[in-house]
Structures are given as C-alpha cells and as structure tokens.
Amino acid sequence: MSVALQLGIVVGYLVIALLVGLVAYRVAERTAEDFYLASRTFGTVVLLFTTFATLLSAFTFFAGPNIAYAEGPEWVLVMGLMDGIIFAILWYVIGYKQWLLGQRFDYVTLGEMLGDRFASRRLRGLVAGISLLYLFPYVMLQQVGAGTALEALTEGSLPYAVGAGLITAFMILYVVIAGMRGIAWTDTLQGIFMLVTTWLALIWVLAVVGGPVAATSALEAEAAHHLALGSDFYTHQWMLSTAITIGFGVAMFPQVNQRFFAAGSKTVLKRSFALWPILCVLLFVPSFLLGAWARGLDVTVPEGGNVLPAVLAEFTPVWFAALVIAGAMAAMMSSSDSMLLSGSSYFTRDLYRPFLEQDVSERREDLLARIGVVVFATGAFLASLWNPATLFELGDAAFSGFAQLALPVIVALYWRRTTRAGMTAGILASQLFYLGNLFVGSIVGAIEFFGPILGDLAPLLVLLVTGVLRGTYMGWTAGIVGMGLGLLVTVGVSWLTSPAPDERRMIYFERLEAD
Amino acid sequence: MRRLEVWGWLVVGVVLSALAIPWFLWGDAMTVVGVPLWLWWHVGWMGLASVVFWLFAQRAWGIGIETTGDSRGDRS
C-alpha cells in the first residue's frame, strides 16, 4: 500500500512538473537567454522560492535532521547564519551588482562577466572549469541519492541503475523542454508545498507526543547535553567555519549565482532580500527540531537511514508520510534540474563557444544549450554507475570549493585596482590549497611512488606537504583558510602587477543605475 | 557623508552576522516552552535581521554599488 502510494505520488509530481514545463515551453522564446534566464523576468515570489528550493531541498529534509538527531539542534543556528544572514548580505553585495551588470551587458554566467572585465578568455574558462569540477560530481550525488531512494522505496524491484536512469531521462526531457522558466515555476509550487508540509509534520508529531515541553523532557532524559548550546562537535570555530564557507559557497554555486541575473526588477531583489531570513527560519526550525526531538521519542532509525521518514512513519498516517517523502525526493530532483541547466550554460557559453565555435546564431546557441543538458546529465549518470571515490569527495566538498571563488569575485567587483594576474593567481592559489587539502593522501602517495626517483627529497617533500596541508588549522577548516589565502593572493598580486592594456577596468563602476 | 553611510551599514551587517548565534549563551540549557532559550534568541534575531534588511532596502539600497552623479561611495 505504502509503496504504491509513494510511487503514485512521485509519478503524480513528475506529471505535474512536465505539464508546467510544457506551459513554460509554449511561452518561451527560442533564445539562449530565455532558456537560461527566462529573459530576466522573475517576480519576487518566483525568484525567492526558486532560489530557496534549488538550494535547500534535500539537505533540509534528510541530512540536516539526521545531524540534529545525532548531535543536537545547533545546526539551525549554523543554517540561519549561513543562509539567512550571510547569503542575504551577499545577495546584495554580489547579487545586486551582478544583476545591474547583467542588465547592462547581457551577461548570463559569472565567467562571462569576469572574462569581459579582465579581457581574458582563459579566466572565463578557468572560472567555468572550476565550477564544473564541483558541479558535475554534485549532480552525480543527487542522481545517486534519487536512484538509491527509488531502489529502497520499491524494495529492490527497481534496481539502482534503472531507477537512476529513469530519473536522468526524465530530468533531461524536462529541462530541455521547460528551461529556466518552467523550472522556476515548479520550484515555486514545490517550495510552498515543502513549507506547508514541514509545519504540518511538526504540528502533527507534537500533537501526538503532547506538545513541545513533553518532547523536550523526553529528549532531556535521553540526551540532556543536546539542549545546551555547543558541544565537542559544535565548536565555535566549526560553527563559524561552516556557516561562512557554505554561505559564500552558495553564492558561487552556478544555479544560485545565475539567478542573480534573472530578477525582473530592482524591487524584486529588494523584497526577496528582506524576506530571506524569515523564510530560512520558517523552514529550518521545524525540520531540525523534528530531527532533534526524534532522539527522545523512541523512534527506530534504520542503520544508515534517514531520521525524518522514520519519525513520520511512527507518528503520522501513511499517506502523509508518503507525501512528505515523495516531496523530498522530488525536491532532490528539482535541485538537479537547476544544476543541469546552469552546468550546461557554463559549458556552452564559457568553454564551448569561446574556445571551439565563436560565431553562433541565437537559435543555434539555444540548440547547443539543450544539447549541453543532455551531455551533462548523461555524463553524470554514467559516472554515478561507476561511482568513483574521487568524484564523491569532490561532490561532498562542493560548497567549500565554490566558496574559494567568492572573495576574489568580490574584490574584482569592488576594487578598481584588481588586475587580471591578481584575479587568476587568487583563484588558482585558493583552489590548489583547498584541493590539496582534500587529496592530501593521494599527494603523499604520489610522492612515495616517485620516491626512488626523488631520493632524499621524498621524505622532505612529504613533511612539507603534510605540514602545509593539515586539514584543519587550530580548529578552522581548510575551506575558510583557503578563502583567506585567496583574498590575500588576489589583493597582493593585483597590488604588485599593473593591469593588462586591454582590461576594461571601469565597466564595473560606471553608469550603474537601475531604471 | 555617503562614505560614512557605507561604513555604518557595514558595521550593521557585521553585527547582524556576529550575533545570529548567541555566543553569550554558550553551554546554557535553559528552555522556554520546550524550546532552548538560545533557539528563541536566534528566531528573534532573524526576525530583527529581516526588519533591518527591509529598512536597508527602503533607505539605502544601491549604496556602494550604484553610481549616481558625483557620489563615489562605491570605493571600498
């Protein structure tokens, strides 16, 4: 009963999404700008919810409550700071400026915006390349998640490869048809749906267990230390590092960053900006509290399983639990939709066009964009079958990896003396530092492999590598240290070098006004 | 004047970020209506942030970014 119901709800959602996509296709113009950015026309509600749904879906429902269950509800604070405050401020600092520049120069991607200012095709390619390096495995992780969830839901009758394959095929069909406009419309429906069901779930569970006071005293009996702020897990440094790196990382995630270009007007940006902290609290507090309270409520969470489904199964009727779980799975897919679209735009506009085929008509670019979606999604699906550990690590590290881009970009946006050399050096240095930290084991392995050739140098190199790349620095993560390094190198090298003659140094500072 | 305003808002932004987590309640386990006090603080603070953001959007939007006439507030 439950399986058929859940599958029915998932399929029902997909059908609705496809219908919305078809409507969007009918109103769309056949240009790349329309496909990627809905011709920069989004209103407040759509922009707010599409950014929100793109960003937070799967984590809010699964990983977040799991952490609150295991370690206490402090995650709410970290999420609130990172998404409600830091990201909102960046919404203005990066987003509004990007939007103005996009209005004036028709930029569609971040790489395009930087490449134009610094007159550098290579810089443009570098930014796109780095973004794809993290985005591709991140999309793969979503496919792995959705495929595994389908396999679990059907109790194995739909094997992973088939489930993930079906989902990939659906996503390709959907994204190719719907484009940004359709995706944003379904995101909006879905965001509102998520908000309502999460609150219903909280109220339902609390009604059954006798209110928040009863739930908390049960938690106190089971794990009293979860109620006190802070723990060995939630240290000052860790909470700050996480909030800052993810908050900045979010702003550089292609599918989020690109939405900065898509707003319809200045008023839309203003309203979304002010509503952002409230929206974050409205969603995080109930979902994470449910996870935290579950600890005291005798809920049996299966090994490696998720807390929220277990809580719902225990306290709410089957149809309701199915609705929420199906919604969460759909949410996972909708994040992937947006990422596919952005991945395709980074690939076609910043890598394919500048380096392989410079003169393309609007119609042809629109076609290329759709082909890009097919290539990107199929590639990620094939990679998920092979499931290499390296890609897994990269996907997991995506937020911090993207965060490395943020400070050089802010410096470029606000400091006229930033030079092409400074920008390139800052981006490269922070990425190398961060990736080095991520793969320090492999680096040491490589040095040892070449030990016979390197001779006495080998142990010294190992000492140097492990000395510099330590993973954490007095409790601070490599992600945040890398951000600092990127900032220093960007400013330092810009200071020491003079701009190349063809750089357009003033375009970020002249005649920037909204109509 | 414009420049002073930029710095003022910058300070506001830093304060909003700094106190979203109530560090002064570190280790505190007091609960009010079943929810930890530190979480209530956070909820209230986010509400405050929203009001401050709204005020900013009404009064100062464009500061440090838009280049209107002779103001050079966009140098940071």
Q: Tell me the three state secondary structure of residue A477.
A: strand
Q: Which of these three, A343, A363, A386, is where a domain ends?
A: A386
Q: Which residue of A has its CA nearest to B12?
A: A89
pLDDT at B72 over 60: no
Give the mean pLDDT of A424-445. Answer: 93
- Lowest mean pLDDT segment, chosen from A209-218, A230-239, A366-375, B67-76: B67-76
- The pair phi, psi for residue A75, each rounded to 5°, is -55, -30
* Residue A391 maps to a domain: no
**Which of A303-317, A390-404, B3-17: highest mean pLDDT?**
B3-17
* 3-class SS string, A435-471: HHHHCHHHHHHHHHHCHHHHCCHHHHHHHHHHHHCCC
Nearest CA to A80 among A190, A233, A239?
Answer: A239
Task: Please tell me the distance from the alpha carbon of residue B48 to that of residue A414, in angstroms, as a whole number.
Answer: 28
Judge whether A45 is closer than 8 Å to chain B, CB to CB: no
pLDDT at A148 over 70: yes
Identify whether residues A364 and A465 lie together within a single domain.
no
Q: Which of these three, A334, A360, A386, is where a domain ends?
A: A386
Identify whether residues A150 and A129 lie together within a single domain.
yes
Q: How does residue A370 score in pLDDT terms, banded at 50, 70 and 90?
A: confident
Q: How does residue B32 score in pLDDT terms, banded at 50, 70 and 90?
A: very high
Q: Which of these three, A329, A358, A386, is where a domain ends?
A: A386
Q: Tell me the three state secondary structure of residue A472.
A: strand
- Lowest mean pLDDT segment, chosen from A36-40, A112-116, B55-59: A36-40
Give the mean pLDDT of A170-192. Answer: 85
A296 contacts in chain B (CB < 8 Å): none
Q: How does residue A58 score in pLDDT terms, banded at 50, 70 and 90?
A: low
Portion 31-50 of B in contact with A at CB < 8 A: 31, 33-36, 38-39, 42-43, 46-47, 49-50
Identify whether residues A338 and A420 lie together within a single domain.
no
Give the mean pLDDT of A483-512. Answer: 92
pLDDT number for residue A27: 82
Identify whether residues A210 and A69 lie together within a single domain.
yes
B27 contacts in chain A (CB < 8 Å): 228-230
- What kind and span of H or E run contains B31? strand B31-32
For A154-177, write each residue's pLDDT tens digit: 777 788 888 888 888 888 888 888
Nearest CA to A130 among A438, A388, A383, A343?
Answer: A343
Per domain, the residue ranges of chain B are 2-59
pLDDT at A1 over 70: no
Question: Å from B25 to nearest chain A CA?
Answer: 7
Identify whether residues A411 and A486 lie together within a single domain.
yes
Judge whether A296 is closer than 8 Å to chain B, CB to CB: no
pLDDT number for residue A239: 92
**Which of A1-15, A151-165, A273-287: highest mean pLDDT?**
A273-287
Helices (H), A356-419: 362-386, 389-396, 398-414
pLDDT number for residue A406: 96
Task: Please tell me the distance from the alpha carbon of residue A513 to that of residue A515, in angstroms, as a whole number.
Answer: 6
**ipTM here:** 0.89
Q: How does residue B75 score in pLDDT terms, banded at 50, 70 and 90?
A: very low
Burial class (CB in 10 A: 0-12, 13-18, 19+), A242: buried
Judge whether A75 is closer than 8 Å to chain B, CB to CB: no
pLDDT number for residue A57: 58
Identify whether residues A28 and A160 lie together within a single domain.
yes
Pick B57's closest partner by Cβ from A274, A414, A510. Answer: A274
Vertex A88 angle, CA A85 and A91, to 5°: 155
Judge whether A86 is closer than 8 Å to chain B, CB to CB: yes
Q: Which residue of A has its CA nearest to B29?
A: A228
The verdict on a CB contact (< 8 Å) between B20 and A80 is yes
Judge whether B29 is closer than 8 Å to chain A, CB to CB: yes
pLDDT at B11 over 50: yes
* Residue A392 maps to a domain: no
pLDDT at B15 over 90: yes
pLDDT at A179 over 90: no
The verdict on a CB contact (< 8 Å) between B50 and A85 is no
The verdict on a CB contact (< 8 Å) between B27 and A230 is yes
Q: How does residue A2 score in pLDDT terms, banded at 50, 70 and 90?
A: low
Identify whether residues A365 and A401 lie together within a single domain.
no
**What does the block give as tokens for A461?**
């190199």
The verdict on a CB contact (< 8 Å) between A227 and B36 is yes
pLDDT number for residue A403: 95
Judge whether A289 is closer than 8 Å to chain B, CB to CB: yes
**What does the block give as tokens for B44?**
């209230």
Give the mean pLDDT of A199-206. Answer: 93
The verdict on a CB contact (< 8 Å) between B57 and A273 is yes
The verdict on a CB contact (< 8 Å) between A514 and B62 is yes
Q: How does residue A357 score in pLDDT terms, banded at 50, 70 and 90?
A: confident
For A253-280, write each residue's pLDDT tens digit: 999 999 999 998 899 999 999 999 999 9
For A227-251, write each residue's pLDDT tens digit: 999 888 899 999 998 899 989 999 9
- Lowest mean pLDDT segment, chosen from A147-151, A310-314, A398-402, A465-469: A147-151
Angle between helices A307-315 and A266-294 (to 10 degrees): 70
Domain holding A29: CATH number? 1.20.1730.10
Task: Please tell me the distance from the alpha carbon of residue B63 to that of residue B6, in angstroms, as a whole number.
Answer: 7
Identify whether residues A409 and A472 lie together within a single domain.
yes
The four Cα atoms A204, A207, A209, A211 give a dihedral, to 10 degrees, of: 120
Identify whether residues A361 and A451 lie together within a single domain.
no
**% of chain A surpassing 70 pLDDT:** 98
Domain tally for chain A? 2
Portion 486-515 of A in contact with B at CB < 8 A: 509-514
pLDDT number for residue A94: 95
- Compute the half-sphere exposure of residue A388: CA atoms within 13 Å on the CB side of its CA: 8
Identify whether residues A378 and A512 lie together within a single domain.
no
Q: Which amino acid is at A471?
A: G
Q: Which amino acid is at A290?
A: L
Identify whether residues A256 and A135 lie together within a single domain.
yes
Range of the domain at A203: 2-386
Judge whether B22 is closer than 8 Å to chain A, CB to CB: yes
Identify whether residues A35 and A183 lie together within a single domain.
yes
Give the mean pLDDT of A415-423. Answer: 95
Give the mean pLDDT of A407-413. Answer: 96
pLDDT number for residue A121: 93
Question: Å from B15 to nearest chain A CA?
Answer: 11
Interface test with B, best of A85, A93, A233 (most B CBs within 10 A): A85
Average pLDDT in chain A: 87
